[in-house]
Chains A and B, each alone.
Chain A
Amino acid sequence: MQTFEFIRPKNPAQAVSAAAKAKTAQQGADIRFLAGGTTLIDLMKLNVETPAQLIDINRLGLDKIEATRDGRLKIGATVRNSDLAYHATVRRDYSLLSQALLSGASAQLRNMATTAGNLLQRTRCVYFRDTAMPCNKREPGTGCSAISGTNRTLAVLGASEHCIATNPSDMCVALAALEATIHVQGPKGSRAVPIGDFHLLPGNTPHRETVLEPGDLVTHVTLPPPVAGSRQLYLKLRDRASYEFALASAAVVLSSAGGNVTRARVALGGVGTKPWRSPEAEAALVGQPANDATFRRAAEAALREAKPQSENAFKVELAKRCLTHALRMATAT
């Protein structure tokens, strides 16, 4: 591992100004915020990340979960995934988030990993993690080894000819369906970014994964007030029953009346280059009878643009069945 300077700021403003000197906040950043460490330290051991400075943000008081006066839930950047998953309000009003978090990683990792760290979780593409191999995300311009290589677990939605890496997060898929907002404090002040705008498609700059710029510190995430009477469900399909990344997952928030769907929020995981909200599936659901035929049509709509690679055509049908079954489970009495 490369040497680095360990910095412990006293408040978020100090953290922001220390990080603002970085050349980039994206892949290969020379200055990194350090929270749980479960992604970053792993990648530093592999020399995929080689920051010269680490700014420890674990003691900045960003570890609170609070209800806001206007009925939203404010989740601090360094709230641990396990604390968030087991929080009474989250279990009651945002059970989708709790389900998604508990389906990811292991109990130990959830005790370490944080809200903001999970937002910035990096792909598990084996070529990204192997410095001996070309990878446009890790080293722009070197090429994508996965397109002609091992790509069974990689993306079928949102990929480009430069990168097909999957976003591995479960939490972000739930946050997409719950329409979360990411709050960022930066050198020029604070701003709020809808979760759908936070992650970037790879296009021809796969090394840029989010809208974050040098010095930008995610301070917290907010969730809108819970939708009364809605049903929430996270379904994750994977190669083993626990402690594995999704091959396909579906997050649904569904309201219905008189047997018809009145409101739907749908997001997919394990198949996209970013957490994949599907307005196409939502449009196919709203106003339609809550039955298998509708659910299958919604799933077809969600995967219509899917472009499989040499080894992962199965994920297209798997994702459709995953979403269909999640909708069925969410509406079952």
Chain B
Amino acid sequence: MPKRKPEKPRAAIADKLTVSRRSFLVSAGSAGIIGAVDAADVMGQGQPADPAGTADRRGTVPVMLRINGREHRLRLDPRTTLLDCLRESVVLTGTKKGCDHGQCGACTVHVNGRRVNSCLSFAVMHDGESITTIEGLGTPEALHPMQAAFVTCDAYQCGYCTSGQIMSAAALLKEPCGPNDADVKELMSGNICRCGAYQNIVTAIQQVRKTS
């Protein structure tokens, strides 16, 4: 299989266009709110923000999340799910919103090393905890073995579920899972692929399990 050319970094594209689709949507849809969040998202000092009873008059609470090794100090409406926090506040959009009800797995991230549905969790519940998203799993230059296997095995079509599939599969490597394809399918059943790339996903996961 020919190697894919690395994609042009998003930021460079955005610079050329001056206004990207995402930055337009962000500024048009959430003017005022995002500004405040961005200002609050600064490098922290390693302590949880401890939101107990500290809601300010706008109803936001301070939260510290360690995302992909970097500390983020945020002020969030407590209704903000971990998924929306990652996508909208921290602008890590690799994690996808599918059903938003814990049924499809597209939003799978790791919290303290374990896979969870980020749509069914409030960000404030994770104050002081470590979150890993697809952006923190590997880099284009040094892919995580699971990312590399998904490419090699052609384990996707449209790609929308892929980051969730990969995060789930990477976590599965550390879980009690039997040796057979059926065992992998059972433990991957929380990740739906509408395109139906299941067979190649299982192949990719088994390839990593056999070589690692």
A contact residues vs B (CB 8 Å cutoff): 1, 3-10, 34, 37-38, 41-42, 45, 54, 56, 58, 82, 86, 105-109, 111-112, 241-243
Taking CB atoms, residues of chain A closer than 8 Å to B81 are 41
**Taking the complex as formed, is B132 at the interface, i.e. its CB lies under 8 A from any CB of chain A?**
no
Q: Quick check: A108 and B115 within 8 Å, CB to CB?
A: yes
Pick the residue among A34, A38, A107 that contacts B115 (CB under 8 A).
A107
Q: Quick check: B120 and A37 within 8 Å, CB to CB?
A: yes
Taking CB atoms, residues of chain B closer than 8 Å to A58 are 125
Q: Quick check: A45 and B51 within 8 Å, CB to CB?
A: no
C-alpha spacing A8/B124, complex, angstroms = 10
**Taking the complex as formed, is B121 at the interface, i.e. its CB lies under 8 A from any CB of chain A?**
yes
Q: Quick check: B53 and A111 within 8 Å, CB to CB?
A: no
Taking CB atoms, residues of chain A closer than 8 Å to B70 are none
Taking the closest CB of chain B, its distance from the CB of A278, in whole angstroms, is: 28
**B interface secondary structure, majority:** loop
Taking CB atoms, residues of chain A closer than 8 Å to B22 are none
C-alpha spacing A38/B118, complex, angstroms = 10
Taking CB atoms, residues of chain A closer than 8 Å to B176 are 86
Q: Quick check: B101 and A108 within 8 Å, CB to CB?
A: no
Taking CB atoms, residues of chain B closer than 8 Å to A107 are 115, 168, 171-172, 175, 187-190
Taking the closest CB of chain A, its distance from the CB of B191, in whole angstroms, is: 8
Taking CB atoms, residues of chain B closer than 8 Å to A42 are 101-102, 120
Q: Quick check: B190 and A108 within 8 Å, CB to CB?
A: yes
Q: Quick check: B116 and A34 within 8 Å, CB to CB?
A: no
Q: Quick check: B55 and A45 within 8 Å, CB to CB?
A: no
B contact residues vs A (CB 8 Å cutoff): 50-53, 55, 59, 61, 77-79, 81, 100-102, 105, 108, 114-117, 120-122, 124-125, 168, 171-172, 175-176, 185-191
Pick the residue among A6, A86, A108 that contacts B105 (CB under 8 A).
A108
Taking the closest CB of chain B, its distance from the CB of A79, in whole angstroms, is: 14
A-B pairs with beta carbons under 8 Å apart, 8 shown: A3-B59, A3-B77, A6-B78, A10-B52, A41-B121, A82-B114, A107-B115, A111-B116
Taking CB atoms, residues of chain B closer than 8 Å to A45 are 100-101
Q: Quick check: A6 and B101 within 8 Å, CB to CB?
A: no
Taking the closest CB of chain A, its distance from the CB of B208, in whole angstroms, is: 16
Residue of B nearest to A110 (CB): B190
Q: Quick check: A7 and B52 within 8 Å, CB to CB?
A: yes
Q: Quick check: A6 and B122 within 8 Å, CB to CB?
A: yes
Taking CB atoms, residues of chain B closer than 8 Å to A5 are 55, 78
Please judge, given known A-B contacts A107-B115, A111-B114, whether A37 and B121 are in contact too, CB under 8 Å: yes
Taking the closest CB of chain B, its distance from the CB of A61, in whole angstroms, is: 16
C-alpha spacing A163/B78, complex, angstroms = 34
Taking CB atoms, residues of chain B closer than 8 Å to A243 are 189-190
Taking CB atoms, residues of chain B closer than 8 Å to A7 are 52-53
Residue of B nearest to A14 (CB): B52
C-alpha spacing A54/B189, complex, angstroms = 30
Taking the closest CB of chain B, its distance from the CB of A40, in whole angstroms, is: 9
Q: Quick check: B52 and A8 within 8 Å, CB to CB?
A: yes
C-alpha spacing A241/B187, complex, angstroms = 12
Taking CB atoms, residues of chain A closer than 8 Å to B105 are 106, 108
Taking the closest CB of chain A, its distance from the CB of B137, in whole angstroms, is: 16
Q: Quick check: A108 and B168 within 8 Å, CB to CB?
A: yes
Residue of B nearest to A35 (CB): B125
Q: Quick check: A242 and B55 within 8 Å, CB to CB?
A: no
Q: Quick check: A106 and B190 within 8 Å, CB to CB?
A: yes
Q: Quick check: B108 and A108 within 8 Å, CB to CB?
A: yes
Taking CB atoms, residues of chain B closer than 8 Å to A82 are 114, 175
Q: Quick check: B102 and A242 within 8 Å, CB to CB?
A: no
C-alpha spacing A319/B25, complex, angstroms = 52
C-alpha spacing A39/B100, complex, angstroms = 13
Taking the closest CB of chain B, its distance from the CB of A55, in whole angstroms, is: 10
Taking the closest CB of chain A, its distance from the CB of B209, in whole angstroms, is: 15
Taking the closest CB of chain A, its distance from the CB of B189, in whole angstroms, is: 4
Taking CB atoms, residues of chain A closer than 8 Å to B51 are 6, 8
Taking the closest CB of chain A, its distance from the CB of B116, in whole angstroms, is: 5
